[in-house]
Every structure is written in structure tokens, then in C-alpha cells.
Amino acid sequence: MDAVTVDTILMHVRESLERNDVPEAIRIIETLLPADQADVFEELEPEHQEILLPQLAVEDAADILEELDEADAANLAARIDEDSLAQIVAEMEPDEAADLLGDLDPILSTATLELLEEADDVRPLLLHQDRTAGGLMTSEYLAFPQAMRVSQVLSAIREWEPRGPETPRIFVVNGGRRLVGQVGLMRLIRAEPAQRLRELMDPDVLRVHTSDDQEAAAHLMSRYDLLVVPVVDDEERLVGVITVDDLVEVLEDEATEDIQRIGGTEPLDRPYLDSSVGAMARKRIWWLLLLFVTGTLTGSVMSLFQEELDRVVALSLFIPLLIGTGGNAGTQTTTTIIRALSVGDISLRDTLRVLWHEFRTALILGALLTVVAYIRAITWVDSPAVALVVSASIFAIVLWANGVGSVLPLLAARFKVDPALVSGPLMSTLVDATGLLIYFSVASLVLGL
Amino acid sequence: MDAVTVDTILMHVRESLERNDVPEAIRIIETLLPADQADVFEELEPEHQEILLPQLAVEDAADILEELDEADAANLAARIDEDSLAQIVAEMEPDEAADLLGDLDPILSTATLELLEEADDVRPLLLHQDRTAGGLMTSEYLAFPQAMRVSQVLSAIREWEPRGPETPRIFVVNGGRRLVGQVGLMRLIRAEPAQRLRELMDPDVLRVHTSDDQEAAAHLMSRYDLLVVPVVDDEERLVGVITVDDLVEVLEDEATEDIQRIGGTEPLDRPYLDSSVGAMARKRIWWLLLLFVTGTLTGSVMSLFQEELDRVVALSLFIPLLIGTGGNAGTQTTTTIIRALSVGDISLRDTLRVLWHEFRTALILGALLTVVAYIRAITWVDSPAVALVVSASIFAIVLWANGVGSVLPLLAARFKVDPALVSGPLMSTLVDATGLLIYFSVASLVLGL
């Protein structure tokens, strides 16, 4: 649904609420798909949200709490009565329910758990840390003992009504609930009713451990095209599964973090408009201050060469241009390398190939810019010597910037630091000061200053 | 599998090949998972690849061609004999097979299609453009007429052996193959054998059209958590489906494009090390030249104010610092906004809220930097007047940079231009020249120049 449609529907819902026609508002909301329901819902006034949520069909209310941004969902949940909340939470997917309960005040969270009939689905999920495979998993999956027959499994499946997405995969466990195999639902349908799971199952199952990083789980799923990956504890016992909708979310969050870091800001953790101005300023100020301090280096380099600048005033005109070009070339390289590392196109063992690749690219770019810079300089200051200094410097600066731009993110990866921290702004600031050093050295050499 | 494991296995494969023990090399490769097979395979010498591929189990060979980068797969396919190629292509998922045939020389592609038994699966897929839903879809899916009974559908499913991922969703069509509903596989298992699909199906099916942009299809799937989305032609006839593994790929490619554009380079279209040096230089040079030309503006602004600079030499020391800070603050804002637009956290109707958000953030950041800048300036040049000029300018420049940084990507989105084009480097370059204008204006005012 696009923004215009959301606005139109929102208008109708608001009109209904203004004339106190709550049933009409509910009717409109219940015709929508979950993601659209949440979009409309989050635009309503808090007092309207409180009135509407407990009156919606409980499945719709559950969908809305699942789709809302986590902090919004927790705020809303805290404002409705405990019985309604427990009923809604009972209809949520267990992993989403656990996330919500984890965000609530501990007293409210405990009270809701006590009112919850299927608390056993949710309780174990609360034990795992955010951003681990255990924190991402759900307890809704199909697992049967290896001695069970196909006919028994199929009748068990007939009784199963999951609240989340149905994934067509059955996990097979031994007596100690250890994961020993898997069978696809299609394979099961094709099998003879008397066959046992042991005979059908594929014993090779890729798995993750509860304490694994969620990004590791996501990369495993994306690399091997898995719709669902089982999560086991330290004794290899099956305790949950991660489904592909979570994979999509993790991948998007990860790209968002990379992009924000490349832009020189700490990741926001929350959607843009839900981040407070104070939080936004906090995420940005340290980078700005760091870059400010390193930026003063550029000025210091200029003071060092003040005498030369005074003697050939034209030199100063090209300073912004030279440091800008260095920063741009370095940023191009760094962002390309950061992303290639992120998606696994390159890894540390490719370091030499990457450097060789960037070196040759820099030769071409440097050569082209040298020509352009010479022409620009000679038409501007009419001094072949200055034009030579400017164009030779730009060649050296582009080579240098591409080198620094490729080495820094690889070094970061080598020391297990997020390569995205070597962001564009950091790169530009570093290359600014060093680029000026190159410029003044070339100038001293050529002009004999 | 991590880089070290790939290296070890690669070493074993190479050793086997060196002593001409092809069966051993094949044995090692066949123990691996498809993505790992491809990783090892792409490191082998071309002549070894040609020898190995036709001798591998045909399913493994098909997996390798599916997992290799598209250009590598096409190169390899062109070097093996046509009969082997046709056998391997027959085992590939139809959408991957169509992609490969589309990349081959038309003569080879036609010849392979003629040798292919199941060419009817693949041929229609060749008609659609890359980057559309039609170009992304596969022809492997389950669709049955609405009058069919559950028992009939289940026996039909028993006969079905897809080469790609099994998705647990059955589409329902009417006499004219128009899409009229869908049923989950679990629901089908739970139903009475004599029931007809018409009675079971959910008639509301989200769908995309063959000519829709692939990103639109991906956003639909990600927004509504779909494992598979049906693709229909202009007459609403079902012609294919897009599966979630393709969604993951589209989302990753899209984030990669955004990141590369933010870094000031055109998207590479291919994995980093597969992009030739010439291609890399071409993707970067236009941006560098554009930024070079706009960068000369900064120099021009300096020439305009040459007289003032000569009178108060200390002013020039702060130029790199001021334009750097403006560029950094603008880049922080722009990248945050670009990503928020990309993932749908904000849309055009939020423009005013975004501007208000950034304005307040800029007030905080500007105030803090003003204090730091005053202290730095006064300790450096020992002139309260210059320190006042520098700190007042930095306040104005941060406000200005955050404003420009938020308006530009929103304007781009308004005119249906990719907001990521308003990249960090472009932002820095624009803010450089305008920031200097602010600086010199403040200086004229305060110092009475």
C-alpha cells in the first residue's frame, strides 16, 4: 500500500472515530493486511489506539503489535488492561511475544506471563540475549522422534495450527531431543505411510547455536538458501528455529547499520522518526568531534607551510580542490570495499588482489584527473610551474587515497573491528591532511621553495 | 564455510588434479554444499573447470552453475560441449537456467534449448526483461484448477519433484488459468480428501505483474512476509512465482547499489573482484570529474575573497576545518535520510517532520561544536575576533549542511531520482563552496573587512 492509500484510509478511520463510530473504524482496519493495519494504527492518537486495540479481533490486534516498531508496541501494550494484553499476546508468534514481553516493565511482563495459557512457548525464549540466534528464534516448529511413522507424523501435523508462517520442514530428534535429521513436507507426503522418519530423513542438517551471533545465522541462511534453520543448545538439543522473515529483517538492519556508519554516524537502533533528537545528536556528535580534531591537522599542515603559501599565493587556491579530490577517491574505494566485505565478495585472503585491483584503477583515474587538473590550473593561474605542481600532486593524491581507502577497511576486518567504521568522513579527513603534505612536498620540489 | 576451510579444500582438490587424480577431486567437491562447491570451483584453473564440470554428478554441476557469478557461469558454459551443457541445464532451476541461457551467445543458447527436454519450462522465462518480476520468476510451482479435490491434488503433488526450493503454497486457477486463490500445504493436509480447492482456498492473493520492477516485488514480499509471490500476465493469468531466495538477493543488491552510490561511484553490477579495472574506473571517473569541477567553485569563492584573506591571514587556517565539518554534518544527515527512505521508515509525506527533526538535531550539534571551535581558535590564533568568526560560522554551517543534507535526498525522491545519487561526496562538495561563502560573510560582518 502506498503513502496516498494509507492517508486516505487513515482519514476515514479518523472521521469514524471523531463521530464516535468505533465499530466503523474497526471494520475499516480489519479489512487491511497486517503491515498496513500497523501503518494506519501508528498514526492514530494514543487515546484512540487504547480504545481500538482491545476491541479488534484478537488475531488482528496480535498482528498489529507484531508489526509496530518495538518501542511503540511496548508503549501501547503498557496502556491497555492486563487481561486484554494476555489474550492478544497469546495470539502472537512466540518469538514476537517474547520480544514484546522483554521490552515491557518486568512487573507487567511477569503478570502477563501468568495470565498466559501458552506461557511455556514463550518463557524459554526470554532467556536469550538480543542479537543472538537464541534471541531471534521461535518455538513454533515441527519436530518428531526418529522412530515415528509417516502416518503418525501426518496426523500430528493435522492437529498443528501455528500462529506464524508455516515452513515445510520437519525436524527429527532422538530420545534426548538431540537434532539428528530433517525431512521436507513434500517428501513426507510422497512417502509410504508405514515408513519411519529415520528412513526418510536427511541426516545432514545445518544448524546454529543459541549463543551464535544473529548475523552468523543470517549469513548461513542466505548462503545456503535456507527457509528455516534449527537452533540447538550446547548439548545439540533442538530448542527453536529461525524463519526466513527474520533473516530478511536481520539483513536489512545490517545494511542500515553499514550505511549509517559509512555516513559517519553511529547506528540509530530505531526507525528514523522514532529516534529522539537527543539520541540522534548523541549518535553523531562523537564522530563530528573526532573529525573536528583530526580536521585541525589540516590547518596545522597549512601553518607549517605558511611561508611557502605566502611566497606563491596561487597555491592556496587549489587546496580545497586537492583535498576534496583525495577525499572523494578514498571514499569511493572505502565504501566499495566495505560492501564487498559485507556481502562476502571478498575476504581477508584477497587483500593482495584488492590492493593490486585498486592500484591499477587509481593509475587510470589519476592519469585522467592529472590532465584535467593541468588544463584547469593553467587557465586559472597562467603559471606552468603551478599547473605542474597541481597536476602532479593530484596524481599522487589519488594513488595515495585509493591505497589508504583499501587498506583501512581490510585492516579493520583483520582486527575484528567493523570495517564500516572506516567511514567516508573519516577517510576524507585522514586524506585531507596527508594530501596537503603531498601537495606542499611536490611544490617545494618543483618550485624550489 | 569460512575462508580457511575453502583454502584447505581447494589445496586438496588442486593436489589431486596435479597428480591427475580427477576422481579424487570429484569426490572432494561432491561432499560440499552448493555454495561451497562454487567457491572452490571458481578458484580453479579454467582448464581444470572444463574437465571437471561434465564429470561431476549432473545435479552438482547444475548447482555450481547456479551458484557461480553470472558472467563466470556463462564463460564456463561456453567452454564445455553442448550435450553436457544441455544435460546440466536440464537439472537447473528454470529461472537460473533462463538467466544462464540469456547470458550465452544466441547461437549456443538456441542449440542448448533444442537439446533440452524440458525446454518448455525455460523458454517462456527468456521473454522477460532483467530486473522485472518476469525476469526474476521461475516456472516451478504448484497450480491446480479450483474444482480439483484434495485427494487428487495430493496425488499430483506426490508426482512432483522440483529442482528448486519447495514452497508450501498451492495456487488455484480457473478455466482460463486466471489466478483465483491459494491454499497452504498444511491446510491441504488437514482438509477432507473429498473437499474441492474452491472450498478451501483463500481468494485474496497478493500478486505482481510480469512487467513490475523487481524491487517492487521484493518490497511486497518483505512487507507482507511472503515466502512466495505469484506473477501474472496482463490478463491476470498465472505465469510464474518469485521465491524468497530471490527476494534476499534483490534486497542485498539494492543495499549494495545504495552503498556504492553513497560512496560516489556508480553501481558495479558485478562482484568486486570480477569487475575489471577498466569497468571500475569508468564507474568512478564521472563522479570524480563532476566533483572536481564543482570543487573548483570552492577555489573560486576563495579568489573572490582574496583581499580579505590577505588582510587577515589567520582566516585561511580554518578553511579546511570549516568546510570539512560542513561536509561531515551534511553527509551524516544525507546517508541517514537515504536509508530511511530506502527501507520505508520515512516517505515524502514526512518531509516537514524530517526537516524539523534535523533542524533541532543541528541546533544541538551546532551549539556543541561552536564551543569547541571557539576554544580551538582562541588557543591557536589568540584573536577573540577571529575565534568569534570561526565559531559563529561553524554554527551556521552545521545548520545549513543539515538542511541541505535532508532536503536534497527528499527532493530527489520527489522527482523520482534515486536519492542515493545525492551521495556523501556530492554533499561535501556542495557544502564546501557554500560553507566558505558563509564563513567570509560572517568574517566581513564581524571584522568589518
**The three three-digit cell numbers of residue B97, written as one number:** 537456467
- Mean pLDDT, residues B215-240: 90
Residue in B245, B251, B354 closest to A225 by CB: B245
Q: What's the ipTM? A: 0.80
Three-state DSSP state, B85: helix
Give the helix ranges, DSSP H, for B201-276.
214-223, 244-262
HSE (side-chain half, CA atoms, 13 Å) at A202: 11
What pLDDT, on the 0 to 100 scale, is given for residue A197?
94
What pLDDT, on the 0 to 100 scale, is given for residue A182?
94
Domain boundaries, chain A: 3-127, 136-250, 272-447
Angle at which helix B244-262 crosses helix A319-342, to 10 degrees, equals 160
Instruction: Evaluate if residue A392 carries a pLDDT over 80.
Output: yes
DSSP notation for B94-113: HHHHHHHHHHS-HHHHHHHH
- Give the tens place of pLDDT for each residue, A182-205: 998 888 888 999 999 999 999 999
Subunit contact A222:B248, Cβ cutoff 8 A: yes
Give the homologous superfamily in CATH for domain A136-250. Answer: CBS-domain (3.10.580.10)
Q: Are strands B142-145 and A238-243 parallel, antiparallel or unpaired?
A: unpaired
- Mean pLDDT, residues B91-109: 89
Instruction: Give A-chain residues touching B229 at CB under 8 angstroms.
Output: none
What pLDDT, on the 0 to 100 scale, is given for residue A34?
87
pLDDT-based confidence at B287, cuts 50/70/90? confident
Query: Rounded to whole angstroms, how far apart are CA atoms A34 and A67?
Result: 7
- Mean pLDDT, residues B325-336: 90
- Give the tens place of pLDDT for each residue, A156-167: 888 887 777 777
User: Which chain B residue has its CA at the smallest distance from A327's CA?
Assistant: B425
Number of CB pairs, chain A paired with chain B, less than 8 A apart: 341
**The three three-digit cell numbers of residue A63, written as one number:** 498482528
Instruction: Give A-chain residues touching B167 at CB under 8 angstroms.
Output: 168, 227
pLDDT-based confidence at B303, cuts 50/70/90? confident
Buried b (16+ CB within 10 A) or exposed e, B419-439: bbbbbbbbbbbbbbbbbbbbb
HSE (side-chain half, CA atoms, 13 Å) at A44: 28
Closest-CA residue to B331 (of B396, B420, B416, B417): B420
Instruction: Evaluate if residue A3 carries a pLDDT over 70.
Output: no
pLDDT-based confidence at B87, cuts 50/70/90? very high
Query: Rounded to whole angstroms, how far apart are CA atoms B152 and A188?
Result: 17
**The three three-digit cell numbers of residue B178, written as one number:** 486466471
Query: Rounded to whole angstroms, how far apart are CA atoms A391 and A402?
Result: 17
What pLDDT, on the 0 to 100 scale, is given for residue B373?
92
* Residue A152, phi then psi, degrees to nearest 5: -65, -40
What pLDDT, on the 0 to 100 scale, is given for residue B3?
60
Subunit contact A292:B372, Cβ cutoff 8 A: yes
Q: What is the mean pLDDT of chain A?
A: 88
Query: Rounded to whole angstroms, how far apart are CA atoms A123 and B161?
Result: 40
What pLDDT, on the 0 to 100 scale, is given for residue A410?
93
Residue in B248, B259, B289 closest to A339 by CB: B259
B166 compared with B207, residue with greater pLDDT: B207
Percentage of residues in chain B with pLDDT exceeding 90?
37
- Dihedral sign, CA of A191, A196, A200, A205? positive
Instruction: Give B-chain residues touching A35 at CB under 8 angstroms.
Output: 223-224
Q: List CB contacts of A402: < 8 A, sequence separation 6 or more.
A: A329, A330, A333, A358, A359, A361, A362, A365
What pLDDT, on the 0 to 100 scale, is given for residue B1?
62
DSSP notation for A149-213: BHHHHHHHHHT---SS---SEEEEE-TT-BEEEEEEHHHHHHS-TT-BHHHH-BS----EETTSB
What CATH topology corresponds to A3-127? MgtE N-terminal fold (1.25.60)
Instruction: Give A-chain residues touching B313 at CB under 8 angstroms.
Output: 306, 310
B272-447 has which CATH code? 1.10.357.20
Instruction: Give B-chain residues touching A329 at CB under 8 angstroms.
Output: 284, 288
pTM of the model: 0.81
Subunit contact A291:B335, Cβ cutoff 8 A: no
Q: List CB contacts of A435: < 8 A, sequence separation 6 or more.
A: A322, A323, A326, A327, A393, A397, A400, A401
- Give the tens place of pLDDT for each residue, A255-281: 888 888 888 888 887 888 888 888 888
- Mean pLDDT, residues A172-181: 93
Residue in A284, A318, A329 closest to B288 by CB: A329
Indicate the burial class of B11 (C-beta count within 10 angstroms; 0-12, 13-18, 19 or more). exposed
Subunit contact B281:A168, Cβ cutoff 8 A: no
pLDDT-based confidence at B173, cuts 50/70/90? very high
What pLDDT, on the 0 to 100 scale, is given for residue B236?
92
Place of cell 491497555: A80
Query: Rounded to whole angstroms, how far apart are CA atoms A242 and A217?
Result: 8
Percentage of residues in chain A with pLDDT exceeding 70?
99
Instruction: Give A-chain residues touching B295 at CB under 8 angstroms.
Output: 320-321, 324-325
* Residue B312, phi then psi, degrees to nearest 5: -120, 85
What pLDDT, on the 0 to 100 scale, is given for residue A200?
92
Closest-CA residue to B407 (of B323, B342, B332, B337): B337
**The three three-digit cell numbers of residue B69, written as one number:** 557469478
Residue in B166, B316, B332 closest to A263 by CB: B332
Residue in A268, A298, A335 closest to B263 by CB: A335
Name, of A34-48, A306-320, A350-364, the range with top average pLDDT.
Answer: A350-364
User: Which chain B residue has its CA at the smallest distance from A289's CA?
Assistant: B369
- Give the tens place of pLDDT for each residue, A30-89: 988 888 898 888 888 888 999 999 999 999 999 999 988 888 899 999 999 888 999 999
- Distances in Å between the Cα of A213 and the Cα atoms of A134, A135, A220, A327, B235 are 9, 9, 11, 34, 46
User: Which chain A residue has its CA at the smallest distance from B270's CA?
Assistant: A345
Instruction: Evaluate if residue B145 carries a pLDDT over 90.
Output: yes
Q: Are strands A169-173 and B142-145 parallel, antiparallel or unpaired?
A: unpaired
Q: Are strands A179-184 and A169-173 parallel, antiparallel or unpaired?
A: antiparallel
Subunit contact A167:B168, Cβ cutoff 8 A: yes
Residue in A154, A284, A350 closest to B273 by CB: A350
Instruction: Give A-chain residues touching B154 at CB under 8 angstroms.
Output: 189
Instruction: Give A-chain residues touching B256 at CB under 8 angstroms.
Output: 339, 343
Q: What is the rounded radius of gyration, in angstroms, for the C-alpha atoms of chain A? A: 30
Equal CATH topology for B3-127 and B272-447: no
Q: Nearest CA of chain A to the CA of B293: how many Å?
A: 9
